[in-house]
Amino acid sequence: MIDLPRPPLQSVESIKYLDTAGSEQTMPPDSYVIDASSDEIGRIALAWTQYWPITRCSINSVLIRFMAGYGDAPEDVPQTIRQGILIEISNLYENREDIVVGRTSRCFRCQRRLLGHNRALSVE
C-alpha cells in the first residue's frame, strides 16, 4: 500500500516507474485501486491478484501523479479553512510592520484552532 501526502486525494493520474532495464513504464489503472474516501490521507493498493512491478533500484524510480485538494470552486474549501485564511490575512494586514511594539494578538490561537485539524502532516 502507498500512502499519498497532501489530503484530500481527488484522483491518481498515473503511476510510472523505471523497469530494471531503465525504460519508463506505466502501470495500467486496473492493476491498482484508489482509496480517496478519507479526508486524512489517500492510499493506493494493488487490485486483487495484481503485484507491484520490479523497478530499478535507484532514487526516483517511481513517479505517482495525483490530484489533491478540496475541488475547483472556492465553495469546495471547508468554511473553517476559509475563515482561518481570512483571519491570517487580516492579521498580516494589521501588522504590516516588521516589529509591533506594545500589542499582543490572539488571532494566532484562533487561526490554529480553525486550521489545525486540516493540517497535512508528512508521511514517513
pLDDT in tens, 54-64: 999 999 999 99
Q: What percent of the chain has pLDDT over 70?
A: 75
- What whole-number distance in Å separates Cα of residue 123 and Cα of residue 9? 14
Q: What percent of the chain has pLDDT over 90?
A: 35
DSSP reduced 3-state for 60: coil
**95: which 3 cell numbers?**
501588522
pLDDT in tens, 9-54: 889 999 999 999 999 999 999 999 999 886 678 899 999 999 999 9
**The pTM is what?**
0.67
